[in-house]
Chain A
């Protein structure tokens, strides 16, 4: 049946439909990819060329490309510092949040204990509270934590965890949606898996580590990827939590560069290319990760419905 259909010459209407379809796909591809290509090509411009001339076909000639904007961005515009901070932040958040969330997902999905449903309901309820509602009171909380960062017992006098890695990372050590995802997955594993281990005297954390986690590679990958991607791109929280350049993540650093609070304003000739070079470097790690783990990213979206 399918064979005969394929052998039959497509009628006029079918041909028109296919042409439109391919055209649509190409237009979509251009819309999605053009800003990236334009950004990359413009970031390779030599001094003055990009900002004065803008678009010329010469830009696409590799002989005209220069890595000078990248050198300037990396050395003088502190991109290397931002990348370092962002890496520390993103790796710490990914490791901590994946661990705490999978432990909690294991407990909620497979153990029985009093108040389980209430506590899990609480976790679900926190999923609807977004960071844009909490970042201000959270900032005050971190600033006024008692006995930390020079604060007295009433939280006065010092600056608590403000402008520190601990302050950046702590509020992100767990993710409610990841707990949910882990729980859903762990519930599908057969129950007798861990009973044998339990009778042999294995403790719960050992069962989680030795029995459950080795079976959960795909879901761990999905959670870790989204944690990393989210914290790599994080903006609001690092913005309000850091006052020194040392703690700027790449997004905060790029923002400060774009609005001239960095050390770059004097080099107007290269400014645009350097900004774009910085943006390329902000996007590149995620791009590489996406190419390596595309299937997991796409599955993750289908699984969680998160955007």
Chain B
């Protein structure tokens, strides 16, 4: 089975984000980047499919030189090969999907896995766009997966319940937390990753359709208010929650 996992290099969940000087991007200095946590689940699922059916796992990422850190982690976890679509320009989901699908066409894989969203811009658009561009079926927010004789059975998380769907390989899936627990890269895997190839490919087209106009941080939280410390203050607290904050 030829398995492709598309991975993104995103700021650490604990990173303190500052807006960059142009007001349209973030200030990247001092930020630690990680493999997007949902994509990590996709990598794990890819490795489990390989362990079951044989074949190879190819990780692919679009971005700058530093995306290699994330690709290196996928190799350390056990991916066989990595491809960096090298491009530093700012892209929208459509142009990323276009660049990815142009390359994915050549790879001709049985299954393409994504995390359900990247935790940086949260667009959740790539899996659907890529599936459309490749004319493949897609299933989103997958929490359970079974594959037998090209038949794909997925469970999706939906509001208030689960939905079971069927499709066929080749397919594009976006995975959700709960599908599987990502493994730690083994120390042996990390050492072996050194010798695995990260293939760099240039990407020419940047057919952006959406432009970022501005970025701003959410308003900072106001200071707290202490109503009082005696039991009698409880009544006043309830009144304020009811009349001012209007939350009870």
- Please indicate whether A and B come from the same complex rather than being unrelated chains: no
State the A residues within 8 Å of B (CB): none
State the B residues within 8 Å of A (CB): none
